Structure 1
Amino acid sequence: MSDSAQAQTASNVPEYSVTELSLRLKRSIEETFGWVRVRGEISGFKRAASGHLYFSLKDADSVLDGVCWKGSAARLGIRPEDGMEVICSGKLTSYPGRSKYQMVVERMELAGLGALMALLEQRRQKLAAEGLFAQERKKPLPYLPRVIGVVTSPTGAVIRDILHRLEDRFPTHVIVWPVLVQGEGAAEQVARAIRGFNTLAGDGPVPRPDLLIVARGGGSLEDLMAFNEEAVVRAAAESAIPLISAVGHETDTTLIDFASDRRAPTPTAAAEMAVPVRLDLIGDVGSLDDRLRRAMLRLAREKRHNLDALARGLRGPREQLEMARQRFDDLSERLKAGLKVGLQVQRGRLDTQIAKLRPTLLKREVADYRRRLAEADARLLRALRQRQADAAQRLAQPAKLLESLSYRNVLARGFAVVYGADGRALKQVTGLQPGDAISIEMQDGRRAARIDGDGDAPAPVKSPRRAAPAAVPRKPVKQGELF
């Protein structure tokens, strides 16, 4: 065909704008498929704030987008969820804004559990029977981990949310093990990362984490399938390091959530579970420190008060010794008087009994009683004297010790005690003024004296006097003051 013929043919084909072509396709689809029934498994279900429902219907090979408007959603007899196999009735239409076709659902019937959900339930029951989800296997989370290991994608918003939350609450050393979180090979990488963290040595170049966080953002059931794989679940259950699972949003549930030690509804919530708030800890420690200080001060005051009270009730050794001596003397006198009175009473009773007896028959017995009484009297007197001697010796030892510690022994060696006008002993010359009255105690007594001078000038040295002749009478010399 020549160029002129091709140009003539092209000019006969009608020309459409994109919008015109999209609208014609929309009318064509709606006229051809005005009412259809489609069976499939719900996936990616989402309820918008407007009340509309958005989801996908899928089978083994294909996926069909579906939407149920708010009015129709209120009339549905079931509550749609991911994994449910349903039969939807409605019409097909297209969405020109994205060049996609979709089904507008008017009715929905339950057709049974989807194949995917049935598979997950079967896997969950199998792993639960092995004890991987048992509560006694759960490990407590460390209160303040020094190192936190995070298994997630390094490019998503999840790791930024975790790091930002940790920085706000309690800055901590974080080690990220980058993995795929969906698609082929994601499950193997997540399981390898969990086991890799557990094989790190405590003293190696890479520190071993005290806590693990396995995190991923929200998504459809298919997007989260990597965390439902048996390899990931077994790795989480075998982890010796406490593990927090933070996969998906709050409504999403995966099998790793059952095997982990703690499940977080979101990655941000996992960071909040991992560490406390540093400012709160500082405030608590400061409050406890203040309480401890106040308690110690109160205890010290109470102990000092008790000590002062006990000190006031104590007596000096001299007073205690004097009281003991006085008590001993009193008891000695009372004992002597009591013994004499007792002997007289017993002797009187004995004489009375002897007078009643016939002398001829009981003379020998009376003599024997008298002898025994005299011996007992002698033994009693000897025991009394020995007891008095022992008591006197026991008292003599503290008296000697008290006498050896007395300050009068110091006076005997040439020292003296200076008393002020108020009768208290002076320890230093500070505060004494010329003319102040004092008293000086030496070995043989006490004499009054008065301060003369300021004490800075040395005392004059007197030259020895010659002895006066015996024939010349000498006037008595008055002794000067000591100071």
Structure 2
Amino acid sequence: MTEPEDVLSVTQLTREIRDVLEGRIGSVWVEGEISNHRLQSSGHQYFTLKDAGAQLACVMFRGSARTGVRLTEGAQVQLYGTISVYEARGQYQMVVKQAQMKGQGSLQARFEALKKSLYEEGLFDAEHKQAIPKYPRVVALVTSPTGAAIQDMLNILTRRAPWIHVMVYPVRVQGQGVERETIQALRVLNEAERHGIPQPDTIVIGRGGGSIEDLWAYNEESLARAIFDSRIPVISAVGHEIDFTIADFVADLRAPTPSAAAELLAPDRAELMRHFESLSRQISSRMDYTLTHHEQVLDFMARGALKTAPEHQLQAAEQTADDIEYRMKDASRLSLQDLLDQLVERQQVLMAHHPRVLLSESEHRVAQQAQRLQQQLIHRLDRLEDRVKARTDVLRNLGPESILARGFSYTTNEEGRVLRDADEIADGQVLITRLQKGEVRSIVQ
């Protein structure tokens, strides 16, 4: 049995496995069938992608997936993401970044190519968008007469705005011929008078949600150009809020759902009543004010002030005007003088705080401080010099030189150690005796 050398913890080994998977495999496309789909309240989706031979755990975090596809149990999908490891369970999984239905790739490519082409041509530009009438009288619904979308729109329109005349132009919304029938509807409605029907103020093209294949007719270039050429404003209400078609981009307004389109067209009746009541109060108040004003004018005229003495009235008015002019001039003069005084005062303040003045004052203070510092330094140096001289004299008097000058000497061995005891001296030893001037070397016998 071999002894362990570098022992890894479970966490360390799992992280190394994760690094290998992420580094070696990275981002990939995988296709299969969805099972065990679970949508959390957080918006994250957990599911298994499987085929006949294996299965793969997957997670798609809320906000990270760039897709309008709704993942459902049993759906055949193609997923794009990164292979990683969920460390808490030691389970490898795919973090999904993009999803599309199996076989959708070619349709998505066609969608993006047509979208780019029409955008560059200018069909989506805001300058071509027509304004949707705020209070339409006639609305045309181009949709299936039997679908849920038409029922939702009719319910909302009749409940919120029963005065709107609603026309339903029946067309297919799925299968072959959808775009052809929708284009024909746009042409007929734009020539309504020639066909003996009311001219609509707005056209709504709508249907419920579905897969990209179900909605593909609304991505056809011919329908996009027919919507663009319509002289009547067109609202596109195709699919659910997450569904986008070429018709949405080229229409004058995109509604997230057919119901939302109906709500945009039909102002709430109660809200309109409150608005009209407010307008009524404003009009009544304005009329009362106008009538009162004219009554006052008529009463003034009836008293005959202008009729009996027009010159007097004019002279009084002229005198009043002169008085006002004089007071205005006097007030202007006083105001200008006050402003001038304030200006002079502020100029003086500015001059006192001018950088040149402040710099000059700072230079003067610095010069004074430097002079005081120099004087203090000289005084301190003099004191230190006197102390050094005094201590030098003390050292000279107490030092060996003064002792030697009085005729004394001291003896050391060759190593310079001062000898104080004769017992320390050996026979034949060299001694050095130092005098005031010079030294004497001797040998002990």
User: What is the TM-score normalised by the length of structure 2?
Assistant: 0.50
- In the superposition, the TM-score normalised over structure 1's length comes to 0.46
Between structure 1 and structure 2, the one with the greater Rg is 1
